[in-house]
A and B are shown apart, each in its own frame.
Chain A
């Protein structure tokens, strides 16, 4: 198929970016979206032009590296998939595709479609951990009973890959789905109880400091999340935060 690509190009963080049009032909419907960009980059390189920079790593929907706002939606038109799992069969011959980076003040653009998502790392460093003595006498995990419901909810929350689609989709560039998934996965497990109150206050405080917006419960994050993280986690984080503040 032949496609018209409209791609955000930006030389570096300080430069002014703009949309640049590219025509690409003979794209196979079996290609992934990133493979289509690989083909474009090969053509650009052969012509002596600067290839388009974009984030990618595992290309299996696990690592959370790929991003891209495709035709106005994070990770493109297909639900429950990351950009690397998106196939060109989802597009038609002659389609025009607008490709932009995820946009948020907390995710500054590094180059073209690459964004700096280290704000997520800093939020995690603020509290997404448990204190475990690993000096040779670590308990077997199975010696701590956990009810099935909590184990399942914690596992679901832990499936967040931290890609940032929730921030990209939210009209407020809010990171609450991401942060609430991290808060939930520990709050639901016995191992996470020691730092429970400190965790939520510190992570929310760091989230606010990074410049993410507040949640207005539109549900866009849940709808666009490639891992199907539920906004019930946001409600849990709100409860944790309120409870933590009432106790302190």
Chain B
């Protein structure tokens, strides 16, 4: 079977979704670790951000891979949702799904759409100004600007509110998605209970850490 045939199969699409999910989850871990530095020390946060923002491997290799990963995960998610919806063209008169599955697992597309909207705001807030600063206006590198920019963004309570809601939705998305990605890759064995606990802890802790960082800077400054 060719790579294209594999990707176009129902299992191949799920495998691709899982692999892109694991990549995005690893990025999320790195992102929250750097953001948490802003709570500890402005200097350390500036240093880490400057490294991430100027290192050529991160900027020219990892960043395009990340953007591709995000676009791939969302596009594949929409393709699967469309195909899955078309597998039942006539809906049931009565549904009773509460007894057999969780709301979160049935509504991944909606939590995903909120995350997509959040990413739009996040790109508008951070990524686009960063690209403009470095690659359009060619301003001189300033390794002390990152912390001030972060604090400034969290001054607006509306932004902090939307930020918090988005991360709650991310938590819900991860609560099903993280452990589900293992199942899609064929991992369901004696380690599965442990994997589920680890995935649950990650899915709750990481989004809450992001919300904590936003609230910390909003209330402190």
Q: What is A's interface to B at a CB cutoff of 8 Å?
A: 6, 8, 19, 69, 71-73, 98, 100, 103-106, 169, 171-174, 176, 201, 204-205, 207-208, 211-220, 223-224, 231-232, 234-242, 244-245, 248
Contacts and interface: CB of A to CB of B under 8 A. Distances in A.
22 contacts: A71-B94, A72-B94, A72-B96, A73-B99, A98-B93, A103-B92, A169-B100, A172-B88, A174-B84, A201-B1, A208-B10, A213-B86, A214-B11, A215-B10, A217-B180, A217-B184, A218-B100, A223-B99, A234-B188, A236-B188, A238-B184, A242-B15
Interface residues of B, number: 41
Contact of A100 (B93, B100, B101): B93
A224 B1 contact: no
Interface string B137-178: 000000000000000000000000000000000000000100
B87 interface: yes
B105 A231 contact: no
B95 A72 contact: yes
Contacts of A208: 9-10
A103 B83 contact: no
Nearest to B89: A105
A205 B13 CA distance: 13
Nearest to A208: B10
A82 B108 CA distance: 30
Say what secondary structure dominates the interface of chain A.
mixed
Contact of A218 (B14, B87, B89, B102): B102
Interface in B84-131: 84-97, 99-102, 105-106, 108
A104 B95 contact: no
A149 to B, nearest CB: 12
A73 B88 contact: no
Contacts of A220: 97, 100-101
A176 B186 CA distance: 13
Contacts of A174: 10, 84, 87
B90 A103 contact: yes
A214 B10 contact: yes
Contact of B13 (A8, A214, A219): A214
Contacts of B106: 171, 218
Interface of B: 1, 6, 9-15, 80, 83-97, 99-102, 105-106, 108, 176, 180, 183-189
A246 B99 CA distance: 38
Given A234-B183, A235-B183, A238-B186, A214 B100 contact: no
Nearest to A97: B94
A219 to B, nearest CB: 6
A106 B189 CA distance: 31
Q: Taking each of B96, B176, B185, which has the highest tally of chain A beta carbons within 10 Å of its own beta carbon?
A: B96
B88 A103 contact: yes
A176 to B, nearest CB: 8
Contacts of A224: 100
Given A171-B106, A245-B6, A105 B11 contact: no
Contacts of B176: 217
A69 B1 contact: no
B11 A248 contact: no
Contacts of A215: 10, 14, 184
Contacts of B84: 171-174, 213-214, 216
A148 B136 CA distance: 67
Contact of B14 (A6, A105, A214, A236): A214
Given A213-B83, A219-B105, A245-B6, A104 B88 contact: yes
A218 B101 CA distance: 6
A157 to B, nearest CB: 14
A105 to B, nearest CB: 5
B216 to A, nearest CB: 35
B194 to A, nearest CB: 15
